[in-house]
């Protein structure tokens, strides 16, 4: 799993398929960066979309702000062991939706701040991976579904948006990145997960099984949930109704932000 954001990413052009969205069919972006606070955040919120993207030919990378080192009530497990477990689980979950590039920033779980240090680290990843789309968490709180608005989620989303605009595109921001060979990069679009007012919905009916497989990989977090598949299906059915998709479809929701 890559954890050094200092070497620029490159890829050959390739044919891309389409996503089925509420706004109509859309050609998948060539490169996507997903920035999330914790291991499993992407899988609860967006794994169906990620599977659809990789199946359509998008190259997707994950940037995990923390390694989930506060994500267990079992105090007999050391922090180091918990970090190793959560990173292993996220790596396996990513593979189940077609993602093999993961970058862990190792900021402290439960204490994420949208400060210059985090903006710097995310900007470095953006400049290296040169994404056409960033998917991150919303900095806007959902009061009706508070668990989606963990303080780390809000801070990671705010920092990611600041890294997209203005930091990653500004050659005068973080001059050490430029000295390291990481040229400025402009991200044209961001999708915010868990936003209170979503306006872009992705049909994930055909990738639901991959989403569940990814979530099952997080055994430390989901192993106790015998009702996991039923619970997630209910969420996605409700979201599909919001999107005005046909009966029986499943969807994930985002707030689309044009950033270029």
* Of 150, 156, 148, 163, residue with least CA distance to 46: 148
pTM of the model: 0.94
Residues 100, 109: Cα–Cα separation, whole Å:
23
Summarised one tens digit per residue, pLDDT across range 40-77 is 999 999 999 999 999 999 999 999 999 999 988 888 89
Average pLDDT over residues 149-176: 97
Q: Which domain holds residue 106?
A: 18-258
pLDDT-derived band at 148, boundaries 50, 70, 90: confident
Residue 33 lies in a domain: yes
- Stretch 241-246: mean pLDDT, rounded? 96
Confidence bin at 2 (pLDDT 50/70/90): very low
How many domains is the chain built from? Answer: 1
Inside any domain, residue 170 = yes
Whether 194 and 49 have beta carbons less than 8 Å apart is answered as: no
95 within 8 A of 79, measured Cβ to Cβ: no
Q: Which two tokens mark 38?
A: 């914790």
> What's the confidence (pLDDT) of residue 7?
57
Query: Residue 138: which CATH number?
Result: 3.40.50.10320
Residue 169 is given by DSSP the state G
Residue 10 lies inside a defined structural domain of this protein: no
Sheet arrangement for strand 59-64: 101-104, 59-64, 31-36, 133-137, 189-193, 251-258, 200-203
- Residue 3 domain-assigned? no
To 10 degrees, the CA torsion angle through 132, 113, 222, 2? 50
Whether residue 227 lies inside any domain: the answer is yes
Q: Is residue 8 part of a domain?
A: no
253 part of a folded domain: yes
Strands 189-193 and 251-258 turn out to be antiparallel
In a domain? residue 4: no
């Amino acid at each position: 799993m890559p954890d050094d954001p200092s070497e620029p990413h490159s890829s050959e052009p390739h044919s891309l398929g389409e996503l089925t969205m509420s706004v109509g069919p859309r050609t998948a972006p060539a490169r996507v960066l997903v920035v999330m606070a914790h291991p499993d955040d992407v899988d609860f919120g967006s794994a169906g979309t990620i599977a659809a993207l990789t199946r359509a030919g998008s190259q997707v990378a994950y940037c995990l702000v923390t390694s989930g080192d506060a994500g267990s009530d079992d105090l007999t497990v050391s922090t180091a062991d918990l970090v190793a477990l959560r990173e292993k689980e996220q790596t396996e979950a990513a593979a189940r939706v077609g993602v093999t590039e993961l970058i862990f920033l190792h900021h402290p779980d439960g204490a994420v701040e949208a400060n210059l240090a985090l903006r710097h680290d995310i900007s470095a990843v953006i400049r290296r991976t040169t994404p056409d789309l960033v998917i991150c968490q919303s900095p806007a709180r959902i009061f009706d579904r508070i668990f989606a608005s963990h303080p780390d989620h809000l801070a990671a989303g705010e920092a990611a948006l600041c890294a997209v605009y203005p930091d990653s595109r500004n050659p005068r921001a973080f001059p050490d990145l430029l000295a390291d060979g990481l040229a400025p990069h402009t991200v044209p679009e961001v999708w915010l997960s868990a936003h209170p007012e979503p306006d872009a919905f992705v049909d994930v009916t055909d990738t639901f099984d991959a989403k569940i497989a990814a979530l099952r990989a997080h055994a430390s977090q989901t192993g106790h949930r015998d009702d996991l598949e039923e619970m997630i299906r209910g969420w996605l059915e409700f979201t599909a109704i919001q999107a005005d998709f046909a009966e029986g479809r499943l969807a994930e929701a985002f707030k689309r932000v044009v950033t270029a």
